[in-house]
Chains A and B, each alone.
Chain A
């Protein structure tokens, strides 16, 4: 197929504001958008900048806005987006260059919810065992790859970047509902803040954006409920 790719480009060292660059090339229907970006960079314009690492939808490096939706470039096929594609950097995070955004504010939010096991019990000789049911309780939120697609699709986050954002809440959920972890109250106290879960207006953009199909709004709802009842069931 003859593809026409429009990319929102910006180089802070030379450009005063972002502009659209257009590239035409031959693409296969089974090419991923990432393959097309690589082709452009290799054969047409080496200055095009984007992030990618695994190219298999697990590292979370290449979330970007493809035809207006937050997607991983390595998970979208050309046949699904059509021959005319527009690609923009994620919204709500500062652009470093072209499709590369500064993830530092995003990871600061992630760190704020203390995303590590909190358990002062002496570790057992083997591992900390957990029942299958207890593991299933938070299975959905373990799938997060921290690509920022959800947080940067959230109008509450666009409007107010002090909001902790869906990704951080998903990560908090992953520990709050893990019965091996004893830090639930600490994390709940953090999310009780006015910039915590209450800025979620159940808009569901995050659910649509998540490449891992996590039921994010449900997870946020469960955290709200835990805050309301003061209890993690």
Chain B
């Protein structure tokens, strides 16, 4: 079947990118809640039950590196120095950050009309996003 051009009056850009971004948002939205819940259950099973306040529970759920949760009675360092938990923690933060920054990109593209400003803001967003990923990798893999 021949592909006919869109009559929306512009050349098409981006290909399947928006499709993947959309699916990624749906998938990670569910995934990082499940991952957080898994962290939380794990922390409570490994001795945290009764010793964690709400803040500590949340830190355990979404970013359980040693400097975050050292104040709790759960044994952090031995548990989290293994590659599985490091990869797990990094993925959790990476998913959350990518999900969030993609959301900001979508808002920018909806509401920023000026093309040059949009380009700059997008670049800024990518910069912050990369910084967050690098910082997370440093905290998880180097500092633990």
A residues sitting closer than 8 Å to B (CB atoms) are 108-109, 111-112, 114, 156, 159-160, 162, 164, 182-183, 185-186, 189-190, 192-196, 198-199, 201, 224, 227-228
Choose among A160, A189, A194, A227 the residue with the greatest number of B CB atoms under 10 Å from its CB: A194
Task: Decide if B7 touches A198 in the complex (CB within 8 Å).
Answer: no
User: Which residues does chain B contribute within 8 Å of A109, judged by CB atoms?
Assistant: 8
- Chain B residue at smallest Cβ distance from A111: B7
Interface string of B30-49 (1 = CB under 8 A from A): 00000000000000000000
**A109-B8, A190-B6, A193-B6 known; A198-B18 Cβ under 8 A:** yes
Q: Quick check: B110 and A162 within 8 Å, CB to CB?
A: no
Q: Is B115 an interface residue (CB 8 A)?
A: no
Q: Which of B15-63 contact A (CB under 8 A)?
A: 15-19, 21-23
| B114 contacts partner chain A, Cβ-Cβ < 8 Å | no
Question: Hey, which chain B residues are within 8 Å of A114, CB to CB?
Answer: 4
The proximity string for B residues 83-122 relative to A, scoring 1 for CB distances below 8 Å and 0 otherwise, is 0000000000000000000000010011100000000000
Q: A193: nearest residue on chain B (CB-CB)?
A: B12
Alpha-carbon separation in the docked complex, A201 to B107 (Å): 10
A194 touches B18 (CB 8 A): yes
Let me know if B142 is at the binding interface, CB within 8 A: no
Cβ 8 A contact of A192, one of B1, B16, B21, B23 = B16
Q: For B22, give the chain A residue with the smallest CB separation.
A: A198
A185 to B1, CA, bound (A): 8
Asked if B6 and A156 make an inter-chain contact with CB atoms under 8 angstroms apart, the answer reads no
Does chain A have a CB within 8 A of B78?
no
Q: List 18 A-B contacts (CB under 8 A).
A: A109-B8, A111-B7, A114-B4, A159-B110, A183-B1, A189-B3, A190-B6, A192-B15, A193-B8, A193-B12, A193-B14, A193-B18, A198-B18, A199-B110, A224-B22, A227-B19, A228-B19, A228-B23
The 9 closest A-B pairs by CB, nearest first: A112-B7, A198-B18, A159-B110, A190-B6, A112-B8, A194-B18, A194-B14, A193-B12, A159-B111
Closest to B14 in A: A194
Give the Cβ gap from A105 to chain B, nearest Cβ, in Å.
10
**Contacts A185-B1, A192-B19 given: A156-B110 contact, CB under 8 Å?**
yes
Contact B12 A186 (CB under 8 A): no
Chain A neighbourhood of B9, CB < 8 A? 108
Residue of B nearest to A187 (CB): B4
- Bound-state CA distance A203–B97 (Å) is 23
Give A5 Cβ to nearest chain B Cβ, in Å: 34
Least CB separation from A160: chain B residue: B110
Interface pair A182/B6, CB less than 8 Å apart: no
Give B13 Cβ to nearest chain A Cβ, in Å: 6
